[in-house]
Amino acid sequence: MIDDTPALPPELLLRVERLTMRFGGLTAVNDVSFDVRRGEITALIGPNGAGKTTVFNCITGFYKPTVGRLTLASKEGPLLLERLRDHQISRKANVARTFQNIRLFGGMTALENLLVAQHAPLMKASGLTVLGVLGIGGFNKAERAAIEKAKVWLERIGLIDRADDPAADLPYGDQRRLEIARAMCTEPVLLCLDEPAAGLNPRESLELNALLRSIRDQDDTAVLLIEHDMSVVMEISDHVVVLDYGKKISDGAPLHVRNDPKVIAAYLGVEDEEVEKVESEIAVEATS
């Protein structure tokens, strides 16, 4: 299946072509194409119900697209994501994701959450459990390495002191960062974040920006994010794709998108009381 897949240009990581997703009579995503480049933060924005999360679910294997091709440049060559099952997306294609409503393992500690994310290599080290139960093989060494890696991530998100606390006990902002760290522990080439800044206060939002930048620059991981918070989008993204009613209406650098009349219309074509809010957001961005 790799053979018949055309290779992507080297700077591209993911190419989404003519993606369409229908649920019965509803077309949630209609003929959307865009590219995600290596070493960049790509933002997927749009009003509520524009189909952003549906695009995410198609990329991460939770939905099978009705039409379209999703080509990922993996280490072993180009890979068609729509042909992989959900758990293979993480293992073979190295695409990780977070969720709009945080999905941590609440009853497990922060450390355990990060170890679950390293399931595949640890499973191999435990000889598919058989050797691990008997206490032979290199499992202990592999587990120590996994804990070290988890420690590095806990340091990076500033939660090393709370490593042994259950995830559900952490404050909201910490949970968001822990979920990102958990996704990063799978060593992804593409990290998909579904509204990572939702519900964060301004300080936490700044911490998140720094974390996402460090992921882009240090970890050789491209980031694709859905976000409503324009300050986050304009601040950190290198490339913005705008969806409205399931269609792509704009695609380009943040500055280009911000001044695109179609985008302004899509954002202003809402309830009267929201007009001012959106206008002020855009104005704030323009002056800053």
Q: Residue 177 in contact with residue 81, Cβ under 8 Å?
A: no
Closest CA to 212 of 284, 288, 282, 157: 157
Which is nearer to other proteins, 145 or 264 (by Cβ)?
145
Q: Which of 37, 38, 69, 151: binder of other proteins (CB under 8 A)?
A: 151
Shortest spacing between CB 281 and other proteins, in angstroms: 31
CB atoms within 10 A of CB 175: 21
Q: Which stretch binds other proteins (CB under 8 A): 12-20, 35-43, 117-125, 224-232?
A: 117-125
- CA count, 13 A, side-chain hemisphere, 135: 0
Q: How many residues does the chain have?
A: 288
Of residues 265-284, which lie at the interface with other proteins (CB under 8 A)?
none
Reduced to 3 states (helix: H, G, I; strand: E, B; else coil), residue 60 is coil
Q: Is 106 in the site for other proteins (CB under 8 A)?
A: yes
Q: Is 14 in the site for other proteins (CB under 8 A)?
A: no
Tokens of residue 75, six digits: 């280490």
Q: Is 135 in the site for other proteins (CB under 8 A)?
A: yes
Mask: binding to other proteins, 22-61, rule CB under 8 A, as x and -?
Answer: --------------------------------------x-
Q: Is 104 in the site for other proteins (CB under 8 A)?
A: yes
First CA to last CA distance, the chain:
49
Reduced to 3 states (helix: H, G, I; strand: E, B; else coil), residue 6 is coil
Alpha helices (H) in 24-162, listed in sequence order: 52-59, 86-91, 110-116, 119-125, 130-134, 139-156
DSSP lists the bridge partners of residue 19 as: 32
Q: Is 152 in the site for other proteins (CB under 8 A)?
A: no
Total of residues contacting other proteins (CB under 8 A): 47
For other proteins, the binding residues (CB under 8 A) are 60, 62, 86-91, 96-97, 99, 103-109, 111-112, 115-120, 122-123, 126, 129, 132-133, 135, 139, 143, 147, 151, 160, 163-166, 168-169, 182-183, 186
